[in-house]
């Protein structure tokens, strides 16, 4: 056989799954679909003010002053954004990146050699496996369990930690469970990690989104920790609904000696790529300020859709809505009559797209995961189609 020059970091199976094939053929035949997997805020009828991007034309964008962590003004704007949410972060401890995905990649390079391990919650964001593989580190799952609400199975964390563990990921609120890591959970994780020299990486991209006022009162914040090494990730894609702008960040916290050593090393990695464009850095403060108008619409939409979903499910004892506190998605438990995959493929024929629970590694069948972002009328109609189909089974 002819040798081919490809690494095993990139999956060789690039084929589509049954759900994406069903969607493609429905679209090809012109069938209109309500997409309840839509997580792109720029495609669900929010009003983006005309002036939102005017700061990108700022003349500071005409000068190139390479700076590994980004322009100080932009890093200060990120620090102010943490302060808006009640967290104290110094601009000197902020590194800008093009996306949260890139932030993960930089941190995996910082903490892990090939074959080292990173613990990640299960169920959670499906991209972790792929991100880790591209950086030659291995994901080891720890479990979240559901008893009228989600919590971390601490015994599973202890079982998953090994000599090779370099970092533990938390997503707060988590996608798709909508659960915040609580203060007491974070305290326990911090003890486990600090003792073993494991960094905590907290993905806080959805931190602005609670599904009811006060839902996140018990949420823990990694930037309040002063032991061990912690990283907080955020970005414009969720906090102001601008994924196309490509600006995210890493804030570094924990014990000061570790923070200093981490920053010195992270600086070398960031200096190698210098991936954030100058016009975006120059506009960062304005984008964060003006983007609040979009954030408010997203906050209102997800809360309204979650309430509507709870209302639609009231008359359906066979289905139940899993309790969630924040984030952009909702999980509905449905009768396990056939496989989740058959169900979501059949639903495409009814004109609605939802994700199956297995896509996020939910522990067993049958669950459906819906994005809370679609416009309210579309969301209600889409859920109506799902429930009518389930009733007919």
Ligand X SMILES: Cc1ncc(COP(=O)(O)O)c(C=O)c1O
Sole window of 51-59, 99-107, 216-224, 276-284 interacting with ligand X (rule: CB under 6 A): 99-107
> Which one among 19, 36, 38, 39 touches ligand X, defined by CB under 6 A?
39
> Which one among 99, 281, 312, 378 touches ligand X, defined by CB under 6 A?
99
- Distance CA(36)–CA(373), nearest Å, equals 8
Between the alpha carbon of residue 294 and those of residues 226, 244, 285, 362, the distances in Å are: 33, 14, 15, 31
Whether the CA torsion 208, 210, 213, 218 is positive or negative: it is negative
Residues 6 or more apart in contact with residue 314 via CB below 8 angstroms: none
Tokens of 123: 């169920």
Residue 237 interacts with ligand X (CB under 6 A): yes or no: yes
Structure-derived torsion over alpha carbons of residues 255, 257, 259, 264, reported in degrees to the nearest 10: -170
Tokens 């989600």 correspond to what residue? 150
> Which one among 40, 76, 90, 101 touches ligand X, defined by CB under 6 A?
101
Residue 203 interacts with ligand X (CB under 6 A): yes or no: yes
The answer to whether the beta carbons of residues 361 and 355 sit under 8 Å apart is: no
CB of 237 to ligand X, least distance (A): 4
Q: How many residues contact ligand X, by CB under 6 A?
A: 13
Residues 6 or more apart in contact with residue 194 via CB below 8 angstroms: 227, 228, 255
Helix (H, G, I), strand (E, B) or coil at 313: helix
CB of 177 to ligand X, least distance (A): 11
Residue 248 interacts with ligand X (CB under 6 A): yes or no: yes
Sole window of 96-104, 152-160, 263-271, 345-353 interacting with ligand X (rule: CB under 6 A): 96-104
Sole window of 77-85, 94-102, 156-164, 379-387 interacting with ligand X (rule: CB under 6 A): 94-102
CB of 244 to ligand X, least distance (A): 9
Structure-derived torsion over alpha carbons of residues 171, 173, 178, 184, reported in degrees to the nearest 10: 90
Residue 205 interacts with ligand X (CB under 6 A): yes or no: yes
Nearer to ligand X, 125 or 142 (CB): 125
**Shortest CA distance to 199 belongs to which of 128, 273, 116?**
116
Residue 186 interacts with ligand X (CB under 6 A): yes or no: no
- Distance CA(131)–CA(147), nearest Å, equals 30
Residue 175 interacts with ligand X (CB under 6 A): yes or no: yes
Residue 305 interacts with ligand X (CB under 6 A): yes or no: no
Nearer to ligand X, 133 or 350 (CB): 133
Tokens of 161: 């930690």
Binding mask 114-153 for ligand X (x = CB under 6 A): -----------x----------------------------
Residues that bind ligand X (CB under 6 A): 39, 99-101, 125, 171, 175, 203, 205, 235, 237, 243, 248
């Amino acid at each position: 056989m002819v040798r081919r020059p490809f690494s095993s970091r990139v999956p060789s199976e690039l084929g589509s799954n049954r759900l994406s094939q069903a969607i493609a053929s429905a679209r090809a035949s012109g069938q209109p679909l309500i997409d309840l997997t839509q997580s792109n805020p720029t495609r669900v009828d929010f009003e983006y003010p005309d002036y939102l991007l005017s700061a990108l034309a700022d003349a500071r964008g005409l000068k190139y002053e390479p700076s590994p962590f980004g322009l100080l003004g932009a890093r200060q704007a990120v620090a102010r954004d943490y302060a808006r949410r009640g967290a104290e972060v110094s601009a000197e401890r902020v590194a800008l990146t093009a996306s949260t995905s890139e932030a993960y990649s930089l941190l995996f390079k910082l903490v892990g050699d090939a074959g080292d391990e990173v613990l990640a919650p299960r169920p959670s964001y499906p991209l972790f496996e792929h991100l880790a593989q591209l950086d030659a580190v291995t994901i080891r799952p720890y479990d979240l369990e559901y008893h009228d609400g989600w919590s971390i199975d601490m015994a599973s964390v202890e079982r998953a930690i090994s000599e090779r563990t370099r970092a533990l990921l938390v997503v707060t609120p988590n996608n798709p469970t909508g659960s915040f890591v609580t203060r007491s959970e974070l305290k326990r994780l911090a003890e486990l990690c600090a003792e073993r020299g494991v960094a905590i990486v907290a993905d806080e991209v959805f931190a602005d989104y609670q599904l009811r006022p006060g839902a996140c009162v018990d949420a823990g914040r990694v930037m309040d920790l002063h032991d061990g090494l912690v990283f907080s990730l955020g970005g414009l894609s969720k906090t102001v609904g601008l994924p196309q702008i490509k600006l995210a960040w890493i804030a570094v916290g924990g014990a000061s000696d570790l923070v200093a050593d981490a920053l010195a090393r992270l600086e070398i990695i960031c200096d190698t790529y210098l991936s954030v464009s100058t016009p975006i850095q120059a506009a960062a403060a304005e984008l964060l300020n003006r983007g609040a108008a979009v954030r408010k619409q997203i906050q209102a939409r997800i809360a309204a859709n979650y309430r509507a979903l709870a209302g639609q499910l009231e008359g359906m004892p066979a289905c139940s809505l899993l309790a969630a506190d924040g984030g952009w998605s909702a999980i509905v438990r449905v009768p396990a009559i056939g496989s989740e995959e058959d169900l979501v493929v059949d639903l495409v024929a009814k004109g609605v797209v939802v994700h199956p629970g297995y896509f996020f590694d939910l522990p067993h069948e049958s669950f459906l995961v819906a994005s809370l972002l679609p416009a309210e009328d579309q969301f209600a109609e889409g859920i109506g189609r799902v429930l009518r189909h389930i009733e007919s089974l």
